[in-house]
Amino acid sequence: MAFSKTNEKGTVYYLHGRQTTLKNGTKQTIYFFAKDIKDGAMDELPAGYMVALTKNGLPVLKKADSGDKPAAEKPADKKAPAKKSKK
């Protein structure tokens, strides 16, 4: 059975993978979700990946160890203090 993900709207998407050759000749596997099971359907997630949903409800693969931090943990931008104008 193919790996599936159901979004909030109740639509089921199935994970697929396809081997492609890039212009420089190297081979790379691309992953995508489709509503129907087609050639290349995968039974499980690739190692090191996790499923996330976009704001539109579409599933996407993300690297699990990407190091994304919540907004509260990101360092704040330092701004120079505003100069006072002389009157």
Average predicted confidence (pLDDT) for the chain: 83
Say if residues 34 and 16 touch (Cβ distance below 8 Å).
yes
| CA atoms of 33 and 14, how far apart (whole Å) | 5
- Looking at per-residue confidence, does 18 or 74 come out higher? 18
Question: Range with the lowest mean pLDDT among 18-22, 40-44, 53-57, 82-86?
Answer: 82-86
| CA atoms of 4 and 48, how far apart (whole Å) | 17
| CA atoms of 70 and 25, how far apart (whole Å) | 38
Q: Three-state DSSP class for 72?
A: helix
Average pLDDT over residues 41-69: 87
Q: Is the pLDDT of residue 71 over 80?
A: no
Say if residues 17 and 27 touch (Cβ distance below 8 Å).
no
Predicted local distance difference test score (pLDDT) of residue 79:
53
Predicted local distance difference test score (pLDDT) of residue 59:
95
- pTM equals 0.69
